[in-house]
Amino acid sequence: MRKKIVAGNWKMNKSWPEAMELTKSLSLNSSSFPADVQVIVSPPALYLQGVRSELPETLAIAAQNCSQHESGAYTGEISAGMLKSMGVAYCIIGHSERRQYYGETNEVIREKIDACLKNGVTPIFCCGEILSERNSGEHFNTVSTQVKQALFHLSEEQLALVVIAYEPVWAIGTGVTASNEQAEEMHAFIRSIVAQHYSETIANDISILYGGSVNAANAKELFACPNVDGGLVGGASLKAADFTTIIQAAQ
């Protein structure tokens, strides 16, 4: 059975007092969150522990990135094992901003996926095309390559632990959301390549989130698409009221 998930990616936003204010508001609102939706909050790494301690147990936290290495001389990095040891259940991997600004390749992303799975952290694997790829009709190829190179070396049991987030880069932070049809089409495509390589069962069971300018007004329609299992939300997750509406829309 695939899970409905709404994850809020705070990116590099908010001072510590602001982060606490948002966390406390979400805690207060959490009694109105649907029981069958897994809510995940992804603050900057520095705040993970503080945010964890203020949130009810039913909400999970996610790191926004981790190292592909186990441990050692990697100044500034955080390992998946460290995340696990701090009660961090999820980690966003391969976000387009990591690909674009920090040179993360499909190869590095694959290693990070492996590091997460080895350490019992659930990866939220991000994929998605840039605008020129969509305009030239290359978007299925791009996403297929990203998914295959990062995930298709995994065993069926391992893949079953992964969450996929389709985030068209042209929709991230732009206010331009993919249409319901565009989202549904790509989600169904991702499910079809998973079915081809693995099985229908695993394809049906894997959660595929949509990300890219999800907001309180468009979430319900997007989440109603049969192959969309929730969302990875950036800007709108920084406001407790909006994020709460989005969570409720996933019911």
CA distance 216 to 219: 6
Nearer residue to ligand PGA within complex by CB, 190 or 203:
190
Nearer residue to ligand PGA within complex by CB, 56 or 173:
173
168 binds ligand PGA (CB under 6 A): no
128 binds ligand PGA (CB under 6 A): no
Of the candidate spans 44-52, 63-71, 141-149, 231-239, the one that interacts with ligand PGA by CB under 6 A turns out to be 231-239
5 binds ligand PGA (CB under 6 A): no
40 binds ligand PGA (CB under 6 A): no
Binding residue for ligand PGA, selected from 40, 214, 246, 249, defined by CB under 6 A: 214
Q: Which helix (H) or strand (E) holds 209?
A: strand 208-211
CA distance 164 to 224: 17
Extended strands (E) in 51-137: 60-63, 90-93, 122-127
235 binds ligand PGA (CB under 6 A): yes
Nearer residue to ligand PGA within complex by CB, 167 or 229:
167
HSE (side-chain half, CA atoms, 13 Å) at 218: 18
CA distances from 92 to 31, 89, 144, 185 (A): 25, 11, 19, 23
**Catalytic (active-site) positions:** 95, 167
Contact 127, 186 (CB under 8 A): no
φ, ψ (nearest 5 deg) of residue 233: -115, 125
211 binds ligand PGA (CB under 6 A): yes
CB of 235 to ligand PGA, least distance (A): 4
Q: CA torsion 154→160→162→165, rounded to 10°?
A: 110
Of the candidate spans 63-71, 104-112, 232-240, 243-251, the one that interacts with ligand PGA by CB under 6 A turns out to be 232-240
Of the candidate spans 68-76, 77-85, 104-112, 165-173, the one that interacts with ligand PGA by CB under 6 A turns out to be 165-173
> Which residues are at the interface with ligand PGA (CB under 6 A)?
9, 167, 172-173, 211-214, 232-236
